[in-house]
């Protein structure tokens, strides 16, 4: 792919993510869901990936993939399980199959393609910075405390109060939340960096 076509593809992906992210935020407000859902990590990440694409900023794109990759894979597995079997597996994608506005469902489908499209975007931009994990850690920390301070337990934004899956955890929940996110971030970051190294060799 020549440089001109590559830039067109990168910018197109960036605009798509920006539209999805901003659209998700506007839709949340329009549906009278209050302002709390604006803090959802996936909404913010869509906007940041879009900005990262337009700026050709691998640090910004990769830091969001570190955060989103495993949760979105889990959501996708749950989604296809429900779609195929009609039963609930983990409970994280159940809401998609409940009656609701069609625009919300269209936006929610980003869970299925954000990671493959984001990885392709990262492939086009190339990984140059090795500190994306640190941005990811800071971001989830800020959003956890923002979710706890500015939203209600009944809203459970970013699953900050209790598990979004259909099972509970018996130990101190914030510790589990941070341990889980840190583990996911370091694992995804390691895999992406490893693929980068292998590709360079």
Its pTM stands at 0.90
Tens-place pLDDT, residues 151-173:
889 888 999 998 887 777 667 88
State residue 201's pLDDT score. Answer: 45
Tens-place pLDDT, residues 118-140:
999 999 998 888 899 999 999 99
Q: In the predicted model, what is the mean pLDDT of residues 137-149? A: 96
**DSSP state at residue 181:** H
CA pair distance 121, 80, nearest whole angstrom: 25
- What are the structural domain ranges in the chain? 3-200
Q: Give one DSSP letter per residue of 29-96, joined into a string.
A: HHTT--SGGGG-HHHHHHHHHHHHHHHT-HHHHHHHHHHHHHHHHHHHHHHHHHHHHSS-SSSSSGGG
Query: Does residue 33 or residue 10 have the better pLDDT?
Result: 10
């Amino acid at each position: 792919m020549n440089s001109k076509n590559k830039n067109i593809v990168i910018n197109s992906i960036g605009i798509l993510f920006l539209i999805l992210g901003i659209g998700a935020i506007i839709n949340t407000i329009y549906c009278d869901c209050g302002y709390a859902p604006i803090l959802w990590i996936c909404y913010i990440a869509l906007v940041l990936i879009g900005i990262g694409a337009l700026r050709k900023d691998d640090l910004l794109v990769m830091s969001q993939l570190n955060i989103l990759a495993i949760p979105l894979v889990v959501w996708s597995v749950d989604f296809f399980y429900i779609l195929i079997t009609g039963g609930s597996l983990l409970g994280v994608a159940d809401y998609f199959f409940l009656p609701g506005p069609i625009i919300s469902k269209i936006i929610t489908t980003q869970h299925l393609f954000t990671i493959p499209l984001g990885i392709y975007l990262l492939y086009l931009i190339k990984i140059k910075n090795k500190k994306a994990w640190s941005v990811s850690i800071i971001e989830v920390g800020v959003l956890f405390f923002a979710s706890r301070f500015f939203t209600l337990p009944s809203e459970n934004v970013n699953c900050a109060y209790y598990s979004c899956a259909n099972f509970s955890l018996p130990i101190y929940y914030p510790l589990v939340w941070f341990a889980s996110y840190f583990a996911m971030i370091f694992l995804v970051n390691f895999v992406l960096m490893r693929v980068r190294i292998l590709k360079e060799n």
